[in-house]
Chains A and B, each alone.
Chain A
Amino acid sequence: MEVDREDGRTPNQLRPLACSRNILHRPHGSASWSQGDTKVLAAVYGPKAGTKKNENAEKACFEVIWKPKTGQIGKVEKEYEMILKRTIQSICVLTVNPNTTTSVIIQVVHDDGSLLPCAINAACAALVDAGIPMKHLAVAICCCLADNGYVVLDPNKLEEKKMTALAYLVFPNTTLSVLPEGSSVAEGEPVEHGIITSVTHGVMSVDDYFLCVENGRAATASLSAFFRKNFQQSQRDSSKAG
C-alpha cells in the first residue's frame, strides 16, 4: 500500500537539507541551499538606486536572474524567473526602500528534482543574509502525486518523471513575533496555511490537489524549523567571532 521510493525514503520524508550563508565575498548576501543532490547558489546585490522601466518607483523593485547549469536560458528559466520574482515581491516589505532595485541571482549547481522550490529557499536565505526587510520567509516544497493516489514529497528527478502530477507550493513560515490580535488568523485559518505560490503540472482531481496542499503544508513546518535553526546558528557563530 505504501509507495516504494528508490532511495528508501518514506513518502513524506525530505532529502537531507543543507544551507550555508555568506559564502560569496562580493554580493551583499549569498546562500547555498541543497536538498539531496539538488543544489542552488543564490546571491543578492542591492538595494541599488533606481527602478527599471515599467516598474512602480514608489516601491522597491526586484529582478531575478536565473543561470542554468549549462547553456542558454529558455522559456522554462524565464518562467522560473517570473515566479521567483513575484514570490520575493510578496514576502518583502517593498515600502522601506522605494525606488531601488535588488538583484537576485540564482545559479543552479546541480538539478536532481524539486529545482524551483530549492531555488526559492536559497533566494530566501540569501535575502536574509543581505538584510533585505521581509515580512516573513517563504518556504517552498514540491509535492508529487503517484499513480496510486499517494502524495510523495521532495521528489528527485527520476521520481518527477514517473509521477502523474506534481505541485510546487510555497507557504509563509510561522512567525514568532508579537502580532496584533486577530492578524495571525485569516478566515479561521492560521496565516501560515495560506499559499503564496502554487504551480502545478499534470492532471489531478481537486481533492488530490488539496491532499498535496495538506501534506506540503505539514512538511513546511519542518523546513521552517530548519531555516530558523540555521539562522540562529550562524548568528551565534558571528557574535562569537565579533
Chain B
Amino acid sequence: MGLPDSSQVLSTEMEVDAFRRIFPLRFFERHLSESLRPDARPLGKARDTIVNLGLVSTADGSALAKIGSTTMLAAIRMEVMTPSADSPDEGSIALEFHMPPICSPTVRPGRPADAAPVISKRLSDTILSSGMIDLKELCLVSGKAAWMGYLDIYCLDADGALFDAALLAAVAAFSNLQIPVVALNDNGRIVAITGGKDQDNASIIEKKAVNKEKRKLTLNNIPFSLTCILHKNYILADPTTEEETIMDTLVTVVLDSSDHMVSFYKSGGTVLASSSAIKSCVELARTRAKELKQILGEMDID
C-alpha cells in the first residue's frame, strides 16, 4: 500500500474508479466523512427491500426476499414424522442454508462455502429461540405423529447482509406456509388428503381428518435483524459485500416484534463495540424492525 502522501498526490489526478480500487478504504472514508455512502445511501439507512410470497409451487410455503441485490429464496416442505420421546407433543424444524456457486465469485463449485454452515446454525438458533413458532402447533397425534418442517434457504445473490436477508426470507416463508390436510387411516397411519378425486371424497369423510382445514401457523414474536458495520466512529447499516470486505467489524442485532433482543452477534473485528455503539446499533435495528414489519404486513393483505 502506498504512503499517505503518495495517495494524496495520485488522488488529484486519478479517475474515481481507479481510486476506488487502489485505495478502497480511503475512498470509503472520504464518503463517510460526508455522511454518505458510495451508493448514495445515508449511513443508517438499509437498502430497498422486497418480499414475494409463494413462488415455489411444489413447496408448502415459500418466499423470495431481496435486500438491495442480496437475494434469498426460502421454501418449506412439511413431512409427517414420529416425534422424539422427550417431546412427544412437539414437531420440529430442520433448517439448511445453501450457498451455491451462483451466489458469489468466492464460492467455488464442489467446495462448500465456509460461511454457509455458520449462517445456517445462527438462523436455526434465532428462529427456534425467538419463540416465533410454537412447536406444539406442529403436533398431529401426541406421541405418534408430528410435522417436520424442512426449511431450505438458497442464496441466489450474495451482496452483503446475508443473515438479514435469509432471516427475512425464512420468516416470510413461514407466514406463507399452508399445512397440508392429513387424515388417520385404519392402520393408524397418517395419509395426505388430496382433494379433487370424487371417489375418494366418501372415504375422506370416513377417515377422521386430523387437521380439519389447511391451517396456518400463528407467528408470534417475529424476529427482525439488522447487520451493521462499525468503522472508527461510524456505524453503517445493511452493508454490501464491498463494504464488508473493506471494513471487517460486523454486528448483527436481532430484535423481535415485542422489542426483546433475540441475538447480539459480533465475532471479532478490529473495532471494539463500546456501550454507546451497541446502543446505536440497537436503535438502528429498532427502526429497521418497524420497516420490515410494515413490509411483511403489506404482504399479508395481498
Contacts and interface: CB of A to CB of B under 8 A. Distances in A.
A201 B118 CA distance: 14
Given A78-B118, A82-B267, A195-B278, A201 B125 contact: yes
A189 interface: yes
Contact of A210 (B106, B260, B275): B275
Nearest to B223: A203
Contact of B263 (A79, A193, A197, A200): A200
Interface in B210-244: 221, 233
Contact of B274 (A88, A193, A199, A201): A193
B106 A205 contact: no
Contact of A206 (B131, B221, B261): B261
B128 to A, nearest CB: 10
B121 A78 contact: yes
Contact of A198 (B118, B262, B266, B282): B266
Given A75-B117, A79-B122, A206-B282, A194 B272 contact: yes
A90 interface: yes
Interface in B268-289: 268-278, 282
B256 interface: yes
Interface string A170-194: 0010000000000000110101011
A104 B118 CA distance: 19
Nearest to A73: B117
B11 interface: no
B130 interface: yes
Contacts, number: 101
A191 B131 contact: no
Interface string B85-123: 000000000000000000000100000001101101110
Contacts of B273: 194-195, 198
B118 A82 contact: yes
A203 B129 contact: yes
B23 interface: no
B28 interface: no
Interface string A66-96: 0000000001101100110111111000000
B256 A203 contact: yes
B274 A187 contact: yes
Contacts of A60: none
Contacts of A82: 114-115, 118, 267
Contacts of A148: none
B264 interface: yes
A167 B125 CA distance: 13
A93 B114 CA distance: 23
Interface string A204-230: 111011100100000000000000000
* Max chain B Cβ within 10 angstroms of own Cβ: one of A58, A79, A83, A191: A79
A146 interface: no
A17 to B, nearest CB: 23
A197 B268 contact: yes
A197 B267 contact: yes
Contacts of A167: 264
10 contacts: A79-B122, A191-B272, A194-B271, A195-B266, A196-B269, A198-B265, A198-B273, A200-B261, A202-B129, A203-B129
Interface of A: 54, 58, 75-76, 78-79, 82-83, 85-90, 167, 172, 186-187, 189, 191, 193-206, 208-210, 213
Given A187-B274, A198-B273, A209-B261, 12 more contacts: A79-B118, A82-B118, A86-B269, A90-B269, A189-B276, A195-B278, A196-B266, A199-B265, A200-B261, A203-B221, A205-B259, A210-B275
